[in-house]
Amino acid sequence: MRRTIWLGLMAPAGTPKPVIDKLNAAVNAAVKRPDIVKLWTEQGAVPMSMTPEEFDKYPARRYCEMGRGRQEIRRQAAIRSRNKVPFSMPSVRFRLNGVETDVDADPDRSLLDILRGPLGMTGPHFGCGANECGACNVIVGDHAVAACDTPLWSVADKDITTIEGLGSAEKPHPLQRAFIAEQALQCGYCVSGILMSAAALLKRNPDPTGEDVKAALDRNLCRCGSHNRMVRAVLRAAAEMAAR
């Protein structure tokens, strides 16, 4: 997997150009420092340097590589409007809890908005709305992601699992049984997101250590302080699943 780290500065609107130039020069000088380049190279990083124009194009290219890019959607919208084709929202298709699903909506809307709105999935909860609390977590592929911070366009052709697809009252998932057995919740608001993080972990690593569980749940907040019980519950579920 290739990850990209952007280094840059955000200046408030109206910042005078000489100040921006000075800040950019400082960043550029820092990233060329031999000790920093050596450190990154040791970690396998490949430094890239871009002009502002190239930088503008790079994320667009990556979006397109990731699926139905927003640039492509905008291009199609522009063609439609030029040709006076009546505008309709582009359709984004994905599998939701194993069911092929088409959504006609603004591709920039958040996945959480779409799940809780038109698709009626109330399991993913709205907490912070800023990828900080994990209450909205769903599984995309093998990983838990914050649906509040995931644009609809980015999940085209992906597999999405929400808590509704994990288990039911009649047929609970081992994680759900373990959470009840360990009494690993109080108000429960965070729990659907935590269960999705835990389920993604067990999908990738069926035999996790306590440290693995803590790392997987690290970005999920629980204001009721049920963390220790939750870690015990995830380990319990893993043991139950392994014993089957």
Q: Which residues bind ligand FES (CB under 6 A)?
A: 126-129, 131-136, 146, 148, 185-191, 222-224, 226
Query: CB 193 → ligand FES: shortest distance, Å?
Result: 7
Query: CB 18 → ligand FES: shortest distance, Å?
Result: 38
Residue 73 vs 139, nearer CB to ligand FES: 139
Structure tokens at 142: 């093998």
Q: How far is CA 48 from the centre of its chain?
A: 25
Rounded to an integer, what distance in angstroms lies between the CA atom of residue 31 and that of residue 36? 6
Query: CB 128 → ligand FES: shortest distance, Å?
Result: 4
Residue 20 vs 187, nearer CB to ligand FES: 187
Residue 136 vs 200, nearer CB to ligand FES: 136
In this structure, the number of other CB atoms found within 10 A of the CB of residue 190 comes to 25
Query: CB 137 → ligand FES: shortest distance, Å?
Result: 7
Give the DSSP letter string of 54-115. Answer: HHHHHHHHHHHHHSS-HHHHHHHHHHHHHTTPPP-PPEEEEEETTEEEEEES-TTSBHHHHH
In this structure, the number of other CB atoms found within 10 A of the CB of residue 106 comes to 15
Torsion angles phi and psi, residue 93, rounded to 5: -110, 135
Residue 145 vs 201, nearer CB to ligand FES: 145
Rg of the Cα atoms in the chain: 22
Query: CB 134 → ligand FES: shortest distance, Å?
Result: 5
Query: CB 150 → ligand FES: shortest distance, Å?
Result: 9
Give the helix/strand (H/E) hosting 240.
helix 227-243
Residue 134 vs 165, nearer CB to ligand FES: 134
Residue 73 vs 182, nearer CB to ligand FES: 182
Which residue, 51, 63, 155, is CA-closest to 111?
155
